[in-house]
Structure 1
Amino acid sequence: MPPFRISPMLVNADFSRPATVMADDYHWVTSPQPGVERVMLDRVGGEKARATSIVRYAPRSDFPEHFHPGGEEVFVLSGVFSENDKHYPAGYYLRNPPGSSHQPSSLEGAVIFVKLWQMQPEERVATRIDTRDPAFWVRSAGRDICLLFASAHEHVSLQRLPPGELVFQGCSGGAELLVIEGQVEAQGQTLDQGSWMRLPPGFDPALVSGAEGATLFIKTGHLCIPIEQTS
């Protein structure tokens, strides 16, 4: 059988425009490894791409060990995601810097949110945060915030919002969010759990948490950095 290849691909690749993928509209695509599927949220490139995806590991599935020249960012949504002999249940945030390598797998199955090739080349420190630990959370401006990563180029956090709360008080540098729990109301649309939205710099719609509040993975600042296409 010939090797698995993905031709250069563009998915939500115009970063000057908003992009939304609703949880009900997930389109699962097979990967090079049996038992591993993904939903492509945005993508610029082929198999080695600047990409944002939801990835689903079937029980007892894995990838061979490989490098991430542009780094990898992971948030575990369900199940248990493993790297070599380390195991990360739902709620873990992992950040593997450029040049790092790992052998990912899942014994019981897992769903993860993944961002590839989106880190600054000088980043060197791996991050592991268990967001289930209350020690990582602080109360600020009426919401609970778990800081995951901060630099001059980006800010990443998990935020718990009460009902009817504005998600952003201005996001001039662009923003990206994934609904972890609850709902977000966005200009006549309801973003349910699992829905994803990317907002370009200068685009600042009124996003409001739903009637039960919302827990959101939020990333800001990174969209001001020029997008590089990989092969």
Structure 2
Amino acid sequence: SDENGDYPAGSYLRNPPKSSHTPFSKKGCTLFVKLRHFHEGDLESIRINTNTETWHQGMVPGLSVMPLHEFNGVGTALVKWAPNTIFNPHVHPGGEEIFVIKGVFHDEHASYPTGSWIRSPRYSKHAPFTKSEGALIYVKTGHLDNPLQ
């Protein structure tokens, strides 16, 4: 919650530079905060309840995507991986960050259980997949190639 409203678990909030708010929680909560990671001109405030927002079919069967924000080649999304989903090997020219919200996410490098944070550098490559548990991940791409202003 803040002075503008209450936000249920799973909400995605984005407050641009020079904005202010006073967050609080009556029952307690876990917040994932990333401060001062905006590019010049990226001034959009966002409030998304991911519990009610629409999911879109991903690039392969078993993948569902909920876009959260995109600006100047930097994208942020939630990606739901059904059990036993295999994605194509690919390269991230602008790097990639992943936070595993639920389940276990895998690639040829390791297995990443709930709570894992993966930061892959520019031009990193991998072939991600899930096994029987599936996964829900937060993904940000393109930001490691585009220096902050």
TM-score grouping bracket, smaller chain normalisation = 0.7 to 0.9
Deviation track 1:32-68 (CA, whole Å, cap 9, x = no partner) reads xxxxxxxxxxxxxxxxxxxxxxxxxxxxxxxxxxxxx
> 1:227 Cα shift?
5.8
2:5 to 83, 86, 92: 86
> 1:197 Cα shift?
0.4
Match of 2:34 in 1: 115
Q: Which amino acid aligns with 1:145?
A: V
> 1:184 Cα shift?
1.3
Distance 1:124 1:169 in 2: 30
Distance 1:187 1:153 in 2: 26
Q: Aligned pair count?
A: 146
> 1:89 Cα shift?
1.5
Question: Is 1:152 matched with 2:101?
Answer: no
| Kept after mapping to 1: 8 A contact 2:90/2:126 | no
> 1:150 Cα shift?
0.9
> 1:190 Cα shift?
2.1
Question: Is 1:226 matched with 2:147?
Answer: yes
| Kept after mapping to 1: 8 A contact 2:94/2:146 | no
Q: What SS does structure 2 have at the residue aligned with 1:106?
A: coil
Match of 2:56 in 1: 138
Task: Please report the TM-score for the alignment, with normalisation by the length of structure 2.
Answer: 0.87
Distance 2:51 2:103 in 1: 17
Structure with more relative contact order (C-alpha pairs < 8 Å, separation 6 or more) = 2
Distance of aligned partners of 1:220 and 1:182 in 2 relative to their CA distance in 1, 3 Å threshold: same
Match of 1:191 in 2: 112
Deviation track 1:69-112 (CA, whole Å, cap 9, x = no partner) reads xxxxxxxxxxxxx1125111111100101110011111100012
Q: What SS does structure 2 have at the residue aligned with 1:212?
A: coil
> 1:128 Cα shift?
0.5
Distance 1:138 1:190 in 2: 25
Alignment of 1:152-231 (within 5 A): 152-162=72-82, 163-166=84-87, 169-187=90-108, 189-226=110-147
Contiguous gaps of at least 5 residues in structure 1:
1-81
Contiguous gaps of at least 5 residues in structure 2:
none
| Kept after mapping to 1: 8 A contact 2:42/2:71 | no
> 1:185 Cα shift?
2.0
Distance 1:98 1:153 in 2: 19
> 1:187 Cα shift?
3.9
Deviation track 1:211-231 (CA, whole Å, cap 9, x = no partner) reads 221111000001112268xxx
Question: Is 1:99 matched with 2:18?
Answer: yes
The RMSD of aligned alpha carbons is 1.9
Alignment of 1:17-96 (within 5 A): 82-96=1-15
Distance 1:118 1:188 in 2: 27
Divergent runs of 4+, >4 A: none
Task: Please report the TM-score for the alignment, with normalisation by the length of structure 1.
Answer: 0.58
